[in-house]
């Protein structure tokens, strides 16, 4: 019965992981590919709008030069050449529940400049500027948009004939343009529908198509560049009558449909942002394609090249320029040096979403394109508030993935400063060493499971709750009225730190951070805490550096299931995974070209024919690496200056090894540690056991150093180096002591390694 219950719990955990992975795969595919600059460039997605801006079919010709300072507006030529575009969902009754054709609303906004007003905790006054400029693509055409009621009056005043009214409009077109009593107008950001007419020069008496645009120039803070929202509708002009000279003709405007296509144009970034964006776009496409191909082919192959065979002398720099094992495999001179292990089958999204390069570049991309992200987020929430549709939801969730990466970076910064504060308190002797270690363990453990996926889900839930409670996606409070026309110039808005963007991001991320800490605490109060104590999990966390990687998926791959009792079979949480799976995770967590197993020389030509190498470390270094467990308890000084700090001798005495005194071999290789081949006489007679029956631990010599897999039963010895007189810790790598019988199982994934 207990066994059956345990299987159910395991299946439930598996089900949650699969659901998370499938949802995150869909979301990251949409966000990673939707506006990817590399794909946009290759497909020429925004070439038509760029061409219109460069050629002048989007222009300021029908703008009232008496109320606009057109010289102060961003040049459309510059927008077409340098700005970055985002494609927004088409606005029509199906997507926003309203008719949004620009054709019938041309020049119908009463105020040329509006301020978006707020009255809340952050202050009172405008926080955003909007400038509305209408445009038509037709050359040498003037626009008059009159009230429908006035047209009826005009017909009655001209003998109850429409021809007489049209003749009156054509003859008095310029005077009517300045008559505010007949022109349609409203105080909103889209205008209102009227009856528009065109007076065009040199047109034949036939219909023609043109495009009408509403260009909204916006800025979020004082001193910031304007970004543009361009709404474009297809219109039709129907001829009414020409003037006596047949040079000017009157046309009536009709909309082809009820919608408009919308794009957002963001100012060009600096060179650093451009470099980051380019790297992110290329890396994301490559990693996503690799993930999809791996999922389709169901590949489990993990390639590894022994360190001494990995690079020739003239290729050493490649390790730093392209620190990836697949590239190392391409550069190797001998394909026989490539060892293929069998790892685990990854869900497509895990190939890129848990890859260290994708995580780092995603964070850098969202930080360097912060206004781009916020403008996308603000418009996305507006769409969803107008009408809930699949397209609007996908558009919003695409930007929420970017905000989730930003939250992961915020959590990384919080975690860093908390750890600095704890170490500062310890150095000031305010807290004990054990207290410091417990607090640091809690900080690292609670952040281990707060992945990008968790933050993404939390962000969706928090926004949903805010919308349900407040009816809007922000905690800022609009004034009444919320938009006020400005007739005395540009309104005063706050600087960047008091802008809409900072107010929104600060509140959202504070709520997310608080919820994240609560969820992290819940994990630490359950059996998931055991997973955080495993050495492999801690090693992966150190390699990732940042928060956001999927600890739940990683624990599942390692065989660390907290719902079973097997996890603590030896009193410590241990893995049950193949060496290939371990390498997979090491490749994902950091530069794979620097993953070097200390015992990988057994895979070279002389591996089994030579005695195992011994690795020599100074004792203090061995303690710092984790080869020797440091003393538990606090270290403090008493009033008389005495200290209870454990010295080297005590560490040695408490360790499982006994001091020995042997001479150093003449064959020593000094890289990260000294290595010495063990002779047959030096090897203690131990019962021959399979590596899959041993209790192992993994330690590393720094971030880029070698990784040592140590057998707990043969952990090493402390010797005195007769040449230097210094004590050294001597250990052999467990991988170098495996038998030929184990090779088949080491390369496969049928048997797992027990790493505590």
Residue 30 in tokens? 């949409």
pLDDT for 267 equals: 93
pLDDT for 630 equals: 57
pLDDT for 31 equals: 63
pLDDT for 350 equals: 81
Q: Which of 224, 229, 148, 219 is nearest to 189 (CA)?
A: 229
pLDDT for 570 equals: 66
DSSP bridge pairs for 230? 215, 263
Q: Residue 12's pLDDT band (boundaries 50, 70, 90)?
A: low
CA–CA separation, 198 and 221 (whole Å): 37
CA–CA separation, 343 and 689 (whole Å): 23
DSSP-derived pairing of the beta strands 717-720 and 727-731: antiparallel
More confident residue, 329 or 16: 329
Q: Which residues of 693-712 are buried (b: 16+ CB within 10 A; e: fewer)?
A: ebbbbbbbbeebbbbbbbbb
Length of the chain: 756
The average pLDDT across 431-454 equals 91
Q: Residue 657's pLDDT band (boundaries 50, 70, 90)?
A: very low
DSSP 8-state class, residue 647: -
Are the C-beta atoms of residues 522 and 157 closer than 8 Å to each other?
no
Residue 530 in tokens? 């055991």
Q: Considering just the CA atoms, what is the radius of gyration of the chain in Å?
A: 34
More confident residue, 573 or 140: 140
The average pLDDT across 601-607 equals 74
Are the C-beta atoms of residues 727 and 623 closer than 8 Å to each other?
no
User: Using one digit for the tens of pLDDT, what is the confidence trace for 97-119?
Assistant: 999 999 999 988 877 788 899 99
DSSP-derived pairing of the beta strands 195-201 and 141-146: antiparallel
Q: Residue 605's pLDDT band (boundaries 50, 70, 90)?
A: low
Q: Residue 485's pLDDT band (boundaries 50, 70, 90)?
A: confident
pLDDT for 87 equals: 93
Query: Residue 270: exposed, middle, or buried by beta-carbon count in 10 A (0-12, 13-18, 19+)?
Result: exposed
CA–CA separation, 446 and 524 (whole Å): 6
Q: Is the pLDDT assigned to residue 67 strictly greater than 90? A: no
pLDDT for 635 equals: 36
The average pLDDT across 277-281 equals 92
Q: Which of 753, 756, 748, 750 is nearest to 340 (CA)?
A: 748
Q: Is the pLDDT assigned to residue 513 strictly greater than 80? A: yes
The average pLDDT across 430-445 equals 91
The average pLDDT across 594-616 equals 80
Sorted by where each begins, the domain ranges of the chain are 57-266, 281-300+343-592, 596-632+644-755
pTM: 0.86
User: Using one digit for the tens of pLDDT, what is the confidence trace for 373-423?
Assistant: 999 999 999 999 999 898 898 899 889 989 999 999 999 999 999 999 999
pLDDT for 368 equals: 94
User: Using one digit for the tens of pLDDT, what is the confidence trace for 206-232?
Assistant: 999 999 999 999 999 998 899 999 999
User: Using one digit for the tens of pLDDT, what is the confidence trace for 613-647?
Assistant: 888 888 888 888 888 765 433 333 333 443 444 44
Residue 285 in tokens? 């496409």
DSSP bridge pairs for 129? 115, 219
pLDDT for 307 equals: 82
Q: What share of the chain is helix, strand, coil (3-state, %, to 5)?
A: 45, 20, 35
pLDDT for 57 equals: 94
CA–CA separation, 430 and 410 (whole Å): 27
pLDDT for 502 equals: 92
Mean pLDDT of the chain: 84
Residue 265: HSE in the Cβ half-sphere, 13 Å Cα cutoff:
24
Task: State in Å, rounded, how far the first CA of the chain is from the last one.
Answer: 29
Q: Is the pLDDT assigned to residue 239 strictly greater than 90? A: yes
pLDDT for 133 equals: 92
Residue 551: count of CB within 10 angstroms of its CB: 25
The average pLDDT across 303-332 equals 79
CA–CA separation, 604 and 590 (whole Å): 24
CA–CA separation, 136 and 212 (whole Å): 4
**Beta strands in 220-371, from DSSP E residues, in sequence order:** 227-242, 248-255, 260-266, 301-304, 339-342
- What is the percentage of the chain residues whose pLDDT exceeds 90? 41
């Amino acid at each position: 019965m207990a066994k059956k219950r345990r299987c159910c719990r395991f299946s439930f955990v598996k089900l949650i992981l699969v659901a998370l992975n499938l949802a995150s795969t869909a979301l990251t595919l949409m966000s990673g590919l939707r506006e990817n600059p590399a794909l946009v460039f290759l497909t020429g997605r925004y070439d038509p709008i760029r061409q219109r801006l460069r050629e002048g079919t989007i222009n300021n010709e029908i703008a009232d030069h008496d109320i606009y300072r057109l010289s102060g507006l961003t040049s459309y030529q510059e927008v077409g050449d340098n700005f970055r575009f985002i494609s927004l969902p088409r606005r029509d009754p199906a997507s926003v529940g309203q008719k949004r054709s620009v054709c019938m609303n041309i020049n119908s906004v009463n105020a040329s400049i509006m301020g978006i007003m707020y009255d809340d905790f952050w202050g009172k006054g405008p926080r955003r500027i909007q400038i509305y400029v209408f445009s038509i693509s037709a050359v040498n055409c003037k626009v008059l948009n009159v009230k429908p009621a006035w047209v009826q009056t005009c017909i009655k005043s001209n003998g109850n004939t429409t021809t007489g009214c049209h003749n009156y409009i054509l003859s008095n077109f310029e005077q009517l343009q300045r008559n505010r009593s007949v022109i349609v107008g409203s105080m909103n950001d889209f205008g209102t529908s009227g009856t528009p007419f065109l007076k065009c020069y040199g047109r034949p008496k036939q219909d023609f198509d043109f495009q009408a645009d509403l260009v909204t120039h916006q800025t979020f803070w004082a001193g910031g560049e304007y970004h543009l929202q361009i709404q474009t509708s297809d219109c039709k002009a129907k001829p009414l009558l020409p003037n006596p000279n047949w040079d000017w003709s009157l046309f009536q405007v009709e909309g082809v449909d009820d919608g408009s296509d919308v794009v957002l144009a963001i100012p060009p970034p600096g060179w650093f942002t451009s470099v980051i964006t380019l790297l992110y776009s290329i890396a994301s496409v490559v990693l996503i394609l690799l993930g999809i191909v791996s999922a389709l082919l169901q590949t489990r192959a993990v390639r590894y090249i022994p360190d001494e065979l990995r690079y020739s002398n003239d290729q050493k720099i490649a390790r730093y320029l392209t620190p990836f094992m697949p590239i190392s495999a391409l550069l190797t001179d001998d394909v026989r040096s490539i060892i293929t292990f069998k790892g685990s089958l990854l869900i497509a999204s895990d190939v890129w979403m848990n890859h260290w390069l994708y995580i780092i570049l995603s964070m850098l991309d969202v930080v360097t394109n912060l206004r781009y992200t916020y403008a996308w987020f603000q418009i996305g929430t507006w769409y969803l508030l107008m009408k809930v549709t699949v397209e609007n939801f996908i558009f919003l969730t695409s930007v929420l993935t970017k905000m989730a990466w930003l939250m992961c970076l915020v959590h990384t910064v919080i975690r860093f400063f908390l750890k600095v504060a704890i170490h500062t308190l310890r150095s000031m002797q305010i807290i004990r060493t054990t207290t410091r270690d417990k607090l640091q363990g809690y900080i690292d453990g609670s952040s281990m499971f707060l992945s990008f996926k968790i933050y993404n889900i939390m962000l969706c839930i928090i926004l949903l709750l805010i919308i349900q409670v407040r009816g809007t996606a922000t905690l800022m409070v609009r004034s009444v009225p919320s938009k006020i026309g400005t007739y005395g110039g540009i309104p005063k808005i706050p600087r960047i730190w008091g802008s809409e963007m900072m107010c929104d991001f600060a509140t959202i991320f504070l709520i997310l951070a608080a919820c994240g800490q609560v969820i992290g605490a819940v994990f630490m109060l359950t059996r998931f805490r055991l997973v955080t104590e495993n050495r492999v999990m801690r090693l992966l966390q150190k390699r990732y550096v940042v928060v956001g990687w999927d600890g739940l998926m990683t624990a599942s791959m390692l065989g660390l299931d907290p719902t079973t009792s097997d996890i603590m079979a030896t009193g410590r949480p241990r893995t049950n995974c193949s060496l290939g799976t371990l390498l997979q995770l090491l490749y994902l967590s950091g530069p794979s070209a620097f993953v070097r197993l200390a015992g990988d020389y057994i895979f070279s030509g002389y591996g089994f024919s030579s005695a195992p190498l011994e690795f020599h470390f100074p004792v203090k270094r061995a303690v710092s690496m984790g080869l020797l467990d440091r003393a538990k308890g606090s270290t403090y000084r008493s009033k008389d200056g005495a200290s209870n700090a454990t010295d080297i001798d005590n560490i040695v005495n408490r360790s499982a090894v006994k001091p020995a005194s042997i001479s150093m071999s003449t064959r020593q290789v000094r890289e990260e540690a000294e290595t010495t081949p063990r002779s047959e006489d030096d090897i203690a007679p131990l019962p021959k056991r399979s590596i899959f029956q041993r209790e192992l631990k993994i330690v590393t010599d720094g971030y880029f150093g070698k990784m040592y897999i140590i057998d707990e039963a043969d952990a090493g010895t402390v010797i005195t180096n007769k040449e230097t007189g210094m004590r050294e810790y001597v250990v052999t790598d467990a991988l170098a002591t495996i038998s030929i019988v184990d090779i088949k199982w080491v390369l496969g994934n049928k048997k797992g390694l027990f790493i505590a």
